[in-house]
């Protein structure tokens, strides 16, 4: 089942993610099945976040968790994974 509303939700969340990471943000990546328009998708947003430094992680986690994201395993030292189920 295609879930275009999840792509819209991710794009709306980009501003929140950018605010939470501020000047430490290098990039926000939208991956997984919902990142491909028209493709059958799982009800999950996966958002790897690339950060130059992430020393304020508890605050960043709190902001994103307040919007329904959970923190996954870091992909690398500067690539953090957050996901949001719907």
Q: Which of 11-15, 37-41, 57-61, 68-72 has the lowest mean pLDDT?
A: 37-41
Per-residue pLDDT at 61:
86
Per-residue pLDDT at 3:
67
Whether residue 32 is predicted with pLDDT greater than 80 in this model: the reply is: no
DSSP H or E run through 20: helix 4-21
The whole-angstrom separation of Cα 6 and Cα 45 is 7
Q: What mean pLDDT comes out for the span 1-28?
A: 82
Q: What mean pLDDT comes out for the span 29-34?
A: 70
- With H, G, I as helix, E, B as strand and everything else as coil, classify residue 81: strand
Specify the pTM: 0.73
């Amino acid at each position: 089942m295609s879930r275009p509303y999840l792509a819209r939700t991710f794009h709306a969340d980009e501003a929140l993610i950018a605010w939470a990471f501020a000047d430490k943000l290098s990039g926000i990546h939208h991956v997984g099945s919902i990142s491909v328009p028209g493709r059958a998708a799982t009800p999950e947003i996966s958002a790897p976040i690339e950060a130059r430094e992430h020393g304020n992680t508890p605050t960043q986690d709190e902001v994103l968790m307040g919007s329904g994201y959970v923190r996954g395993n870091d992909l690398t030292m500067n690539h953090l994974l957050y996901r949001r189920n719907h």
